[in-house]
Structure 1
Amino acid sequence: MYLDLIVGEPCTSGTSSKVYIYAGSSSGIVTSNPAVSIVKGAIDFGIEVATIGDENGDNRDDFMVGAPLYDVTSGGNTFADAGRVYVYEGAATFSQISNNNNWNKYGENAYQHLGGSREGGNLFAITGGRSLGGLESINSDTKEDLLVGSPYYDHKIYGTDNGIV
């Protein structure tokens, strides 16, 4: 088993943001052609990528991709730049990694779906997915936990942009 490389190519307009996966080998990364290209229309998709361990128990590492400028529409309201996080499951072969992510969550109360917690306000509110990471389980459920950063989150004092993880 060799380490692969995930590279994001975010765009600032249009529908051409991409994430590439390059196959590792005993000699490292030896080709300039990616084994997988994932294309999403979300602005800034791929600005942050992170491996997150084996979330689904299939003995293959999974990964997540941030799109912090994703606009969310919910309940007739649009939340500009709320952000979105896409999670992809690893696979036995590159051809099995789908262009459709396995699940994703975005601003506006996403914490309920992710099973996380918050202290007031929405989980992302703005630019969720700007920073991503995985860490060992902090709740002893044997699965790694996900970290999602939202640097411009306003916590208690409106306009302060304290950020939240």
Structure 2
Amino acid sequence: MDHDNMHNLPPPSSSMANQTNPDMMMTMHMTFFWGKNTEVLFSGWPGTSSGMYALSLIVVFVIAVITEWLAHSPILRGVGSTSRASGIVQTALYTFRIGLSYLVMLAVMSFNGGIFIVAMAGFAVGFLLFGSTTFKKPSDDQKTDKIPPLSSGSV
């Protein structure tokens, strides 16, 4: 490579476009920021409206909860059936879950602090409801009695 002639190279194409047409300039945050003026998942969404920003927070939260629900669903874990049809359903649900996970990841990549917080809260609530043992009844084989049962023969 000829290092002596590198100073003659033009700038990269994206920066050239920004220099020639300032209207094409697009700012993208590369650090977390706070505010409602952001773009989440789609160009122009949520815009500058506070109501639409609140809607985007709710959408990201719900997607994260649904992702956790699918991750801990007995259908996805394959409990009960080994047929090809159930395998295809499992694969479709797995693909849908991964797609939702990527949507949440892309939303977080907007670097908006509020979006990040609701994504983490959605995953936490989803895990609390569907993955943790907080709201589950232990099955008969997992029950551990701290008090030994009374035997009817001894007094």
Comparing both structures, which one devotes a greater share of its residues to helix? 2
Using CA pairs under 8 Å that are at least 6 residues apart, name the structure with larger relative contact order, 1 or 2: 2
TM-score range, shorter chain: under 0.3
Comparing both structures, which one devotes a greater share of its residues to strand? 1
